[in-house]
Amino acid sequence: MASITKPPPYDPELWEVLKNIPQGTPLSLETLQAERVASNAEHAPENVLTDPAISHRETEFPGLDGVDLVVSILEATDSTSTNRPGIYYIHGGGFFFETRLTWIKPCFEWIKQCDAVLVTVEYRLAPEHPDPTPLLDCFAGLQWFHKNAFQLGVNPDQIMLAGFSAGGALAAGVALMCRDRIDGVKTCALCLIAPMLDDRATTVSTSQFLSEGAFTGETNSIAWRWYLQQRKDESTGCYAVPARQDTFSGLPDTRIDVGSAEIFRDECVAFAGKIWEADGGCELHVWRGAWHGFDVSVPDAKVTKAALATRLGWIKRVLGVEG
């Protein structure tokens, strides 16, 4: 691991929130179920699906191994278009908790501003379902979305792939799989929000935030261990750890957001650099003083408003939405 240096300062508005977040019980297999129950209650449908301008329905489809998976389909209540852009969103949660509706409220503005249809899959979680199951579930969900695009009123050539945190790792992995596999879906863009990209934990930012922050290096290490399990030593070049890929050419137009005061900062910067080295297109935003998940946790902060506005502007551009 990189030697420890003093971390960059937090944004003052964000620090006022972060300093009051309780540290909680250290993560372990013994505490995992309680973590899941608490998170699932907080992000239950009745607490999340409160915007009357957004309609929601769900359906099931068979995954690649034949197990039924659930997807949520969200769209503007008053939409009448039959040729809308699509957004395939993958939730975060360290691969081990949270659901398809967790922290999805910021995506409602994407749906309304772009008249888009958003699909999000309930992928199976580690450690009960380690790699490759979560990744293959997400890949299958994108295939389902693309196959059913016309029935959903979506242009199949205008689907953006997006993910937050661990969902960003899965989204990047799915994008790489789609590039390489004959049955892969060609997406028009890739939006990665504070993505987990590298299990090796050798960066300066990992050492700076090893035991502090909204998502610590200690939790990150547990998350990767639960996710990779026996594949840990085989992860070089696999889709589970996007940063370990050998080549980064052929990815769709990409945007990466990350805070300067979080563990994923340096791996996100490195990932963007690898895309540029491969002659790819990537827009990178490192938000000064921002910690992991700031944009969903502190919506009224100035830096959050700036991040959400620039992200929405980029999404509108890549989806071909005017205005």
Q: Is residue 4 very low, low, confident or very high in pLDDT (cuts 50, 70, 90)? A: low
Q: Beginning with the edge strand found earlier in the chain, give each strand of the sheet holding 154-164 in spatial order.
A: 54-62, 68-76, 117-121, 84-90, 154-164, 189-193, 253-259, 282-287
pLDDT of 238 above 90: no
- The arithmetic mean of pLDDT across residues 205-213, rounded, is 91
Residues 6+ apart with CB under 8 A from 66: none
Q: How far apart are the first and last CA of the chain?
A: 46
| pLDDT tens track for 186-199 | 999 999 999 999 99
Residue 141 pLDDT grade (very low, low, confident, very high; cuts 50, 70, 90): very high
Q: What is the pLDDT of residues 267-285, one digit of tens each?
A: 999 999 999 999 999 999 9
Cα separation, 91 vs 163, whole angstroms: 6
The greatest distance separating any two alpha carbons of the chain, rounded to the nearest whole angstrom, comes to: 56
Q: Which range is least confidently modeled, 19-23, 195-199, 284-288? A: 19-23
Q: What is the pLDDT of residue 212?
A: 84
Of the listed ranges 42-51, 87-96, 129-138, 223-232, the one predicted with least confidence: 223-232
pLDDT over threshold 80, residue 230 = no
Span 296-301, mean pLDDT?
A: 96
Percent of the chain with pLDDT over 90: 90
Give residue 58's pLDDT band: very low, low, confident or very high (50, 70, 90): very high
Backbone torsions φ then ψ of 287, nearest 5 degrees: -85, 120
| Whether residue 102 has pLDDT greater than 60 | yes
d(CA 92, CA 102) in angstroms, rounded, equals: 8
CB 142 within 8 A of CB 178: yes
pLDDT of amino acid 233: 56
Predicted pLDDT of residue 167: 99
Question: What's the pTM?
Answer: 0.96
Q: Which fold would CATH assign to domain 12-318?
A: Rossmann fold (3.40.50)
pLDDT confidence band for 3 (50 / 70 / 90): low
Asked if the model's pLDDT at residue 247 lies above 60, the reply is yes
Sequence length of the chain is: 323
Nearest to 140 by CA among 66, 59, 64, 58: 64
Boundaries of every domain in the chain: 12-318
Instruction: Locate 46 and state its tokens.
Output: 């009745």
Q: Do the Cβ atoms of 119 and 100 come closer than 8 Å? A: no
What value does the mean pLDDT of the chain take?
Answer: 94
